[in-house]
Amino acid sequence: MAGELSGILDHVDRIAALDLDDVPPTSHVVDLKNVLRPDEPRPSWPRETMLDAAPDPAEGAFRAPSPAAETEV
Amino acid sequence: MSELLGLTVAEAAARISAGEIPGAEYTEAWREAAAGDELNAYLWRADDRTSGTPPNGEDSGTFGGGDGPLAGVPVAVKDIFCAEGIPTTAGSRILEGYRPPYTATAVRRLHDAGAGVLGKTNMDEFAMGSSNENSAYGPVLNPWDRGRVPGGSSGGSAAAVAAGLAPCAIGTDTGGSIRQPASLCGIVGLKPTYGAISRYGMIAFASSLDQCGPLTRDVTDAALLLSALQGHDPCDSTSVGIEGGIAAPSREDLSGLRFAVPSELARDGIEPGVRAVFEATLETIERLGGELSEASLPHTEHGISAYYVLAPAEASTNLARYDGVRYGMRAEAGELVEMYEGTRAEGFGDEVKRRIMLGTYALSSGYYDAYYGRAQRVRTKIAADFAAAFSEFDFVVTPTSPSVAFNLGEKTDDPLAMYLNDFFTVPMSLAGLPAISIPAGLAEPEGGGPRLPVGFQIAAPAFGEQTLLEAAFALEREIGFDARPGKDGDG
C-alpha cells in the first residue's frame, strides 16, 4: 500500500504550487446563522435499546477487554 | 404487472392517488421484481425474512399510507441510511448484523410522504469508491453489461433503478457517488445543495460534503423525491431545506438561459465516445434556445487533489467510532488495544484503510498546514470560481464521467486512476452546489464493445434546484433517451 499512497500524495502535492497565502480556508460551504432552540428536556434513548447493538453488553453498560496490559508498558 | 413496472413514479403515484391502481398491488409488483435481483444490487429486501425480520414485530416494509404524494411507492434505499430494525451495513464487515435503533430523517420523510423501503442497496464500503468494487459483500454488476461496473458508491441504487428492480432509489453523494453511477447506468441522479436534505441517520463519511439525493428514471421523479426529502431537520443543524419547496418541472425550452462550459474541465482524458455525446448535447441546448459559452474555472482542475485530502481527513475522524465497543463486530482479544486493532484490521476493507491512513497523515502535526490547510484554501478558490461563473451564467455543464462504464477489475490496482473518475463531479461537491446527471446518449467504450450510457452533468447555484430541474427536464425531453439495458445494450 505504501507505493499507492505515495502516488496519491504526489498527485495531491500539485496544490503546493498554488499561491494561497491570502485565501481563507473553507470548512463549511453554506452560510449558517447560529440559532438557539428552547432548552426543554426530552426523553433520551432507552439504555436497553442502545445496548442491544453492542457486541458485549453487561450490567447495563458496554463491556470491553481490560486495558491493563497497556498500562503496564 | 409489467404495465405497472413500466410507469414512472410520478405516473404511478398519480394513479394510486386517483384510486385507479391499488397501492398494495403496485408495491407487490415491485417486491417481485426486486426478488429477481441477479446483479447483487440489494443487500437486504423487504421480502427477505431470513436476513431481516425486524424487532417489535413491525413490518419493515411498512408504508406511510394515507394520501401522501408517494403513497404506495417502494423506494430502494442505499445501505448507508439507518432504518429501525433493518440491517444496515454501509457495505462494511464492521457493521455486519447491525440493526439501528432509529431511522434516518431522509427515510422517515419518504415514509411520511407515503412511501416504504423496498430494500437496502449495495454500495462501496462507507461510500468510498467509484465502482462498487469496494463493497465487503461483492461488487454490483452493471445491467447494461455484467462484465462492467455500475459506478459508485451508490452503485446498487443506480443498477436497481436501471435494471427495473426498483422504481426509484436514494443514495448519497460525497464527491460524485450519486451522479457517476447514474451516468454509468443510464438514469437520472441528483446531488442537491449541501444542506438541502438532513444527514441525520446517514452513516457519515465526510460530513462537510455528504449529501443525500434521488436516483430515478427521469427528471420529474427526481423532483418528486426531492420535494419529499428536502427540509430543515432539528436533528441536523447543517440542514436548511430549500425555500419554497420543489414543484414538478414543466419547462419546454431553454431560451434566455446561459450555459458555461468550463475550459479546464473539457480537455484531456475524456473518451472520444463521451466527448461526442457531450458535444451533441451542447447542440441540443442551443437548439432549445440556450446560450453556450466557454468559461474559465481555473481551480476546478485541482478539485481531486483537494478532495482526496479533505474527504479522507474527515473520514479518519468519523470512522474512529468503529472500535468494537458500542456496535458492530468485535475481534476477540484479551486486551483493549489489541481488540481495537484486531476489530479494525478485520472489519475494514483496503480502500477504507487507505483513506484512514491518508486522512490521519494529512491531519498530523507538521503536515496539517501543507495538506489539510492548503486543501481547505483550494476549496475556497473553487467555490469562488463557481461564484464568478454564476455571476454571468445560469449553469455550468460537463460530462458526468470521463468514460462509460469500465470493466470489473480494470482500475482496482490503481487507486489514483479510480479517483480520477470523479474529476467532473468533485468540484461541485467541494463548492456545495446542486448538480444533476441525465442520460444523454450511448457511446462505444474505448477498446470497442456494445454501446453504453453517457451522462450529462448540469450544475447550478446553491439552492437553485428548481431552475436546475426545469432545465434538465427541457433537455431530457428533447434528448428523448429511451434506451434500456437488454434492449439496446447487451445486458
CA distance B43 to B61: 15
Q: Which of B57-66, B77-86, B389-398 has the lowest mean pLDDT?
A: B57-66
Q: pLDDT band for position B144 (50/70/90)?
A: very high
pLDDT for residue B378 is more than 70: yes
Structural contact between residues A72 and B123, judged by C-beta atoms closer than 8 angstroms: no
Residue B490, domain member (yes or no): no
The type of residue at A9 is L
- DSSP-assigned letters across all residues of B326-380: SSS-----SSHHHHHHHHHHHHS-HHHHHHHHHHHHHHSTTTTIIIIIHHHHHHH
Question: Which of B263-277, B312-326, B414-428 reaches the highest mean pLDDT?
Answer: B312-326
Domain around B213? 2-305+372-479
pLDDT (0 to 100) of residue A29: 86
CATH (domain of B176): 3.90.1300.10
Q: Residue A63 contacts by C-beta under 8 Å, 6 or more apart in sequence?
A: A56, A57
CA distance B233 to B72: 24
Closest chain B residue to A47, measured at CA: B101
Q: pLDDT band for position B265 (50/70/90)?
A: low
- What value does the mean pLDDT take over residues B76-87? 96
Q: Which of A15, A56, A69 sits opposite B305 (nearest CB)?
A: A15
Residue tagged 474505448 (cell numbers): B446
Residue B54, domain member (yes or no): yes
- What value does the mean pLDDT take over residues B148-164? 98
pLDDT (0 to 100) of residue B487: 56
CA distance B136 to B347: 9
Residue B190 sits at φ, ψ, to 5 deg, of -120, 125
The mean pLDDT value of chain B amounts to 93
Please choose, from the candidates B206, B196, B51, B192, the residue with its C-alpha nearest in 3D space to the C-alpha of residue B119: B51
- What value does the mean pLDDT take over residues B404-427? 93
pLDDT per residue over B326-366, tens digit each? 999 999 999 999 999 999 999 999 999 999 999 999 999 99
**Contact yes or no for A8 and B381 at CB 8 A:** no
CB-based burial label for B384 (10 Å; 0-12, 13-18, 19+): middle
Q: pLDDT band for position A71 (50/70/90)?
A: low
pLDDT per residue over A24-41, tens digit each? 999 888 877 788 888 999
CA distance B351 to B135: 10
Please calculate the CA angle B48-B50-B56 and round it to the nearest 5 degrees.
90
The type of residue at A22 is D
Q: Which residue of the set B78, B120, B191, B411 is catalytic? A: B78
Q: pLDDT band for position B55 (50/70/90)?
A: very low
pLDDT for residue B57 is more than 70: no
Q: Residue A67 contacts by C-beta under 8 Å, 6 or more apart in sequence?
A: B335, B336, B337
What is the pTM assigned to this prediction? 0.95
pLDDT (0 to 100) of residue B51: 42
Please choose, from the candidates B146, B101, B118, B107, the residue with its C-alpha nearest in 3D space to the C-alpha of residue B59: B118
Structural contact between residues B462 and B429, judged by C-beta atoms closer than 8 angstroms: no
Please choose, from the candidates B147, B245, B165, B62, the residue with its C-alpha nearest in 3D space to the C-alpha of residue B445: B147
Residue A11 sits at φ, ψ, to 5 deg, of -65, -45
Q: What number of other Cβ atoms are within 10 A of residue B55's Cβ?
A: 12
pLDDT for residue B488 is more than 50: no
Residue B351, domain member (yes or no): no
Please choose, from the candidates A5, A28, A30, the residue with its C-alpha nearest in 3D space to the C-alpha of residue B309: A5
pLDDT for residue B54 is more than 90: no
Residue B20, domain member (yes or no): yes
pLDDT (0 to 100) of residue B417: 86
pLDDT for residue B490 is more than 50: no
Q: For chain B, what is the domain count?
A: 1
CA distance B452 to B2: 24
Please choose, from the candidates B306, B393, B407, B403, the residue with its C-alpha nearest in 3D space to the C-alpha of residue B358: B306
User: In chain B, pLDDT over 70 holds for what percent of residues?
Assistant: 95
Residue B473, domain member (yes or no): yes
For chain A, which residues lie within 8 Å of any Cβ of chain B, measuring from their own Cβ?
Answer: 1, 4-5, 7-9, 11-16, 18, 20, 23-30, 32, 37, 45, 49-50, 52-56, 62, 64-70
A33 — alpha (psi -120 to 50), left (phi > 0) or beta?
beta
pLDDT for residue A67 is more than 60: yes
Please choose, from the candidates B30, B47, B157, B141, the residue with its C-alpha nearest in 3D space to the C-alpha of residue B106: B157
Q: How many angstroms separate the Cα of B244 from the Cα of each of B8, B61, B211, B247, B432?
A: 25, 31, 20, 9, 19
Structural contact between residues B196 and B76, judged by C-beta atoms closer than 8 angstroms: no
pLDDT for residue B466 is more than 90: yes
pLDDT (0 to 100) of residue B2: 76
CA distance B371 to B380: 14
Length of chain B: 491
Q: Which residue of the set B60, B130, B177, B183 is catalytic? A: B177
pLDDT per residue over B170-199, tens digit each? 999 999 999 999 999 999 999 999 999 999
Residue B365, domain member (yes or no): no
Residue B312, domain member (yes or no): no
- What value does the mean pLDDT take over residues B271-290? 97
Cβ pairs bridging A and B (under 8 Å): 141
Active site residue B153: yes
When scoring B341, B416, B430 by the number of chain A Cβ atoms within 10 A, the one with the most, hence best to mutate, is B416
